[in-house]
């Protein structure tokens, strides 16, 4: 069989030379298949043709006009400006072109063109600036006044070039696109064939064609991704657990000796985790729970059980600060039970690193805590039984393999404080089992949230001073590090200076931000924990996971600059002790939207509600990129806007998986799943 045209380089297209090749490569387009699945990001609807007298400000439409006058070379600020008047049998309009010298040889009086552009009012006159145009010809009008795709582009590559390149190959190559969706399924779901969809996503004759095309492609994307995730899960479910772990008495004792009672949700989660590792299948589980619900203790118990079964454990954190915190917590709680805990972070002395490498290799260290540096270092483990990732992204099969050079691939447990609705967790974490900690420890007080504007600053400062006198500590979070970046925003450096020199000269104030070296940051965090610092001014570096029970006030400057989920995470840094805690949101922004957002923060302390509202207000793109979660990018589907299609795709995907033997029943479909998503997912997480 000859090679499919889809796999051929775009070089074979007439007009594509070395330069174009490079430009298209920037867009990720190498072969014809890439090109025809490079979907437009928007469309210009040129099908509406108006009479000139009907044009009104704000219109985006086509009109037909005959050139009646041409004025050239009026220069304003080095720009050449051309004014072209065109008319039809109803009226006349002025078109303005900037710097497009070639039009001198195009617009001859008496010639007729079809124009498309935005009608604007400039100095009281209706004009169209830089319209697109094509010479008028009656029998070609349908080709001109059509829906025109707009592609994401790159420097030097014009829309016209992309359009014509796609147009040149589309009809010739479309026959080579194989349908992978069984007809019965397509009929049932009312989906158009794949060739129809691809053709009409680029050049839809009407809006109707476009809607059908898009629906098919969006469905495909969700459906295939969901199938990929479900099939990873299925493979995992049938993989034998070659690291079965008994539930050891030491764990039960440890739980009994805790200074607090576990919540029911924690107990349930621990049961799920431990029985999972004991069962016939490997664990690949996500623990979801709001900030402060107590995920760490669950991790510790899981690790303890792993160690007592004779395996090593790994705990990964996104920052060195958090890694160090976990290291200390784990050491405090587990070393009395004879468990050796080690820390591995990026910046370590060579000798120190060597020492720990040696000890890990021979199994003298039971638990290694660290940042992702662990994965990059050549640490060879003796016998890893469990990897835990805290506040982190998914963990790929590939990565598991690199850790498991000796003794197979370990169990995996991910912990996340980003609460998301079920539909979304199915698409983001469909390959994982999920344990939900939906309960906070009982004594936990809700953090009282206040929203204030600048004029209340004096009162707030008095309040802070009072609380510090009572022995409490304070966080102040700013959107920026330096003053210079943007003038109207509070910066951490500027504010800390002001507080030290004016407002709180008598208090101990420190600054921490993302641009500082890791060990500097850790040192300051340590001093804050030890109570040497009263007020810690920072950027969002403290966002995740850090635990300082004595800190009971969180002030957030320019709160309008942060997403709701971030505000919620920040707020979760306080109220971890038994003292009443406060979150003060300072905002100058009086817009309706901002007020709505601040009200949500005041009214609810439930992370799920906050996340849901955040989604509604901002859309999924801002809420979290799929990339952040280690998922491949979606080309056309929008998890939020297309939520109904997503739900349908999930139901169908589940149904298909439940039937079993999918490979035999749907070979083409599963091949497409493999091609589009499985390979990428197995390669693993994208580190940031
Ligand atoms: P997160 O889920 O945000 O990671 P942590 O695990 O850091 O939360 O727990 C926050 C604090 O709550 C810790 O100081 C921890 O010791 C404490 N904690 C955890 N579980 C309980 C509980 N059941 N009762 C009281 N305090 C608890
Ligand atoms: Mg945590």
Check residue 677 and give its pLDDT. Answer: 83
Check residue 115 and give its pLDDT. Answer: 95
- Provide the percentage of residues in the chain whose pLDDT is more than 70: 92
C-alpha distance from residue 486 to each of 358, 481, 493, 494 (Å): 49, 10, 13, 12
Question: Which residue owns the Cα nearest ligand 1 atom 15?
Answer: 294
Instruction: Give the distance (Å) from ligand 1 centre to CA of residue 128.
Output: 62
Check residue 395 and give its pLDDT. Answer: 61
Residue 125: strand, helix, or coil: strand
Residue 363: strand, helix, or coil: coil
Residues with Cβ within 8 Å of residue 442, at least 6 apart in sequence? 263
The backbone torsions φ and ψ at residue 121, rounded to the nearest 5 degrees and listed phi first, read -110, 120
Q: Is the pLDDT of residue 489 over 80?
A: no
Average pLDDT, the chain: 87
Q: Kindly report, residue by residue over 525-553, the tens digit of the pLDDT.
A: 889 989 999 999 998 765 555 778 899 99
Integer Cα distance of 16 and 25 in angstroms: 12
Closest atom of ligand 1 to 391 CA is 4
Looking at per-residue pLDDT, the higher value among 303 and 73 belongs to 303
| Residue 688 binned pLDDT confidence (cut-offs 50, 70, 90) | very low
| Residue 219 binned pLDDT confidence (cut-offs 50, 70, 90) | very high
- Lowest-confidence range among 47-56, 228-237, 254-263, 478-487? 478-487
Check residue 398 and give its pLDDT. Answer: 58
Question: Which residue owns the Cα nearest ligand 1 atom 5?
Answer: 294
Q: Is the pLDDT of residue 257 over 90?
A: yes
Q: Is the pLDDT of residue 466 over 90?
A: yes
pTM, 2 dp: 0.73
Q: Is the pLDDT of residue 444 over 80?
A: no
Closest atom of ligand 1 to 329 CA is 16
Nearest to 291 by CA among 556, 583, 571: 571
Q: Is the pLDDT of residue 485 over 60?
A: no
Pocket around ligand 1 at a 6 A CB cut-off: 260-263, 266, 289, 291-297, 417, 441, 545, 547, 576
Considering every ligand atom shown, identify the ligand nearest to the alpha carbon of residue 391 and give its number.
2
Q: Kindly report, residue by residue over 565-595, the tens digit of the pLDDT.
A: 889 988 988 988 778 899 999 998 778 888 9
The two counts, helices (H) then strands (E), for the chain are: 26, 22
End-to-end CA distance of the chain: 42
Q: How many CA atoms lie within 13 A of 424 on its CB side?
A: 22
Check residue 396 and give its pLDDT. Answer: 58
Instruction: Give the distance (Å) from ligand 2 centre to CA of residue 52.
Output: 64
Closest atom of ligand 1 to 437 CA is 2
Q: Which residue has the tokens 């009982």?
A: 442
- Lowest-confidence range among 386-400, 482-496, 624-638? 624-638
DSSP 8-class letter at 281? B
Q: Is the pLDDT of residue 140 over 90?
A: no
| Residue 558 binned pLDDT confidence (cut-offs 50, 70, 90) | very high
Question: Which residue owns the Cα nearest ligand 1 atom 4?
Answer: 295
DSSP 8-class letter at 8? S
Closest atom of ligand 1 to 549 CA is 14
Q: Kindly report, residue by residue over 396-435, the tens digit of the pLDDT.
A: 555 665 665 555 678 999 898 777 777 777 887 888 888 9
Instruction: Give the distance (Å) from ligand 2 centre to CA of residue 604.
Output: 21
DSSP 8-class letter at 559? G
Closest atom of ligand 1 to 572 CA is 3
Among 260, 289, 294, residue to substitute to test ligand 1 (most atoms within 8 Å of Cβ)? 294
Check residue 393 and give its pLDDT. Answer: 60
Check residue 462 and give its pLDDT. Answer: 94
Mean pLDDT within 157-168 = 93
Closest atom of ligand 1 to 262 CA is 23
Among 389, 390, 441, residue to substitute to test ligand 1 (most atoms within 8 Å of Cβ)? 441
Instruction: Give the distance (Å) from ligand 2 centre to CA of residue 508.
Output: 27
Check residue 66 and give its pLDDT. Answer: 96
C-alpha distance from residue 504 to each of 466, 489, 526, 586 (Å): 12, 21, 21, 18
Nearest to 241 by CA among 411, 64, 46, 27: 411
Instruction: Give the burial string for 544-568 (b: 16+ CB within 10 Å, else e).
Output: bbbbbeebbbbbbbbbbbbbbbbbb
Integer Cα distance of 608 and 621 in angstroms: 18
Integer Cα distance of 456 and 468 in angstroms: 18
Q: Is the pLDDT of residue 626 over 70?
A: no
Contact present, 598 and 647 (Cβ < 8 Å)? no
Q: Kindly report, residue by residue over 43-98, the tens digit of the pLDDT.
A: 999 989 999 999 999 999 999 999 999 987 667 777 888 999 999 999 999 999 98
Check residue 309 and give its pLDDT. Answer: 97
Among 296, 319, 435, 565, residue to substitute to test ligand 1 (most atoms within 8 Å of Cβ)? 296
- Lowest-confidence range among 125-134, 302-311, 502-511, 627-636? 627-636
Question: Which residue owns the Cα nearest ligand 1 atom 19?
Answer: 294
Nearest to 510 by CA among 489, 532, 490, 482: 532
Integer Cα distance of 420 and 573 in angstroms: 20
């Amino acid at each position: 069989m000859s090679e499919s045209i889809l796999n051929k380089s775009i070089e074979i297209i007439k007009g594509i030379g070395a330069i174009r090749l490079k430009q298209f490569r920037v867009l990720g387009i190498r072969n014809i298949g890439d090109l025809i699945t490079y979907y437009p990001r928007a469309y210009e609807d040129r099908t509406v043709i108006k009479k000139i007298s009907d044009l009104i400000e704000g219109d985006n439409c086509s009109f037909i006009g005959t050139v009646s006058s041409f004025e050239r070379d009026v220069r304003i600020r080095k720009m050449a400006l051309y004014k072209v008047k065109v008319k039809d049998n109803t009226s006349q309009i002025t078109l303005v072109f900037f710097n497009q010298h070639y039009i001198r040889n195009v617009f001859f009086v008496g010639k007729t063109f079809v124009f498309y552009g935005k009608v604007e009012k400039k100095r009281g006159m209706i004009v169209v600036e830089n319209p697109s145009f094509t010479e008028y010809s009656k029998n070609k009008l349908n080709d001109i006044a059509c829906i025109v795709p707009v592609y994401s582009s790159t420097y030097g590559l014009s829309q016209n070039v992309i359009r014509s390149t796609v147009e040149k190959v589309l009809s010739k190559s479309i026959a080579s696109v194989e349908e992978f969706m069984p007809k019965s399924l397509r009929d049932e779901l009312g989906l158009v064939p794949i060739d129809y969809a691809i053709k009409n996503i680029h050049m839809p004759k009407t809006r109707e064609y476009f809607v059908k095309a898009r629906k098919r492609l969006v469905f495909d994307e969700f459906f295939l991704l969901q199938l990929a995730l479900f099939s990873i899960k299925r493979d995992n479910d049938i993989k034998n657990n070659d690291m079965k772990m008994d539930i050891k008495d030491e764990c039960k004792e440890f739980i009994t000796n805790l200074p607090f009672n576990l919540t029911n949700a924690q107990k349930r989660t621990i049961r799920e985790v431990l029985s999972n590792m004991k069962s016939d299948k490997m664990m690949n589980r996500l623990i979801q729970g709001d900030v402060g619900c107590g995920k760490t203790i669950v991790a510790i118990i899981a690790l303890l059980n792993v160690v007592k079964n004779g395996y090593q454990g790994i705990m990964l954190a996104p920052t060195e600060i958090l890694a160090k915190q976990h290291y200390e917590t784990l050491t405090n709680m587990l070393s009395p039970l004879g468990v050796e805990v080690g820390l591995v972070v990026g910046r370590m002395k060579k000798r120190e690193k060597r020492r720990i490498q040696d000890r890990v290799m021979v199994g003298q260290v039971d638990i290694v805590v660290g940042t992702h540096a662990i994965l990059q270092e050549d640490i060879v483990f003796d016998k890893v039984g469990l990897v835990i990732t805290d506040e982190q992204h998914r963990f790929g099969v590939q990565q598991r393999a690199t850790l498991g050079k000796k003794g197979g691939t370990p169990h995996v447990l991910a912990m996340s404080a980003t609460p998301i609705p079920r539909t979304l967790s199915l698409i983001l974490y469909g390959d994982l089992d999920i344990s939900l900690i939906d309960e906070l420890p009982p004594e936990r007080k809700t953090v009282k949230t206040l929203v204030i504007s600048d004029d209340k600053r004096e009162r707030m400062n008095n309040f802070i001073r009072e609380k510090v006198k009572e022995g409490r500590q304070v966080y102040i979070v700013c959107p920026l590090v330096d003053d210079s970046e943007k003038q109207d925003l509070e910066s951490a450096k500027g504010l800390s200076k002001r507080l030290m020199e004016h407002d709180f000269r008598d208090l101990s104030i420190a600054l921490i931000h993302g641009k500082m070296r890791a060990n500097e940051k850790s040192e300051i965090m340590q001093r804050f924990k030890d109570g040497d610092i009263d007020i810690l001014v920072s950027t969002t570096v403290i966002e995740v996971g850090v635990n300082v029970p004595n800190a009971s006030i969180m002030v957030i400057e320019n709160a309008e600059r942060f997403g709701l989920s971030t505000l919620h995470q920040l707020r979760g840094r306080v109220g971890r002790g038994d003292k009443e805690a406060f979150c003060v949101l300072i905002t100058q922004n009086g817009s309706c939207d901002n007020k709505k957002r601040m009200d949500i923060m005041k009214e609810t302390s439930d992370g799920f509600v906050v996340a849901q509202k955040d989604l509604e207000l901002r859309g999924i793109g801002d809420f979290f990129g799929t990339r952040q979660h280690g998922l491949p990018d979606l080309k056309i589907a929008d998890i939020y806007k297309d939520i109904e299609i997503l739900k349908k795709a999930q139901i169908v995907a589940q149904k298909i998986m439940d039937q079993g033997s999918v490979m035999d029943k749907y070979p083409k479909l599963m091949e497409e799943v493999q091609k589009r998503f499985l390979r990428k997912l197995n390669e693993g997480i994208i580190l940031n």
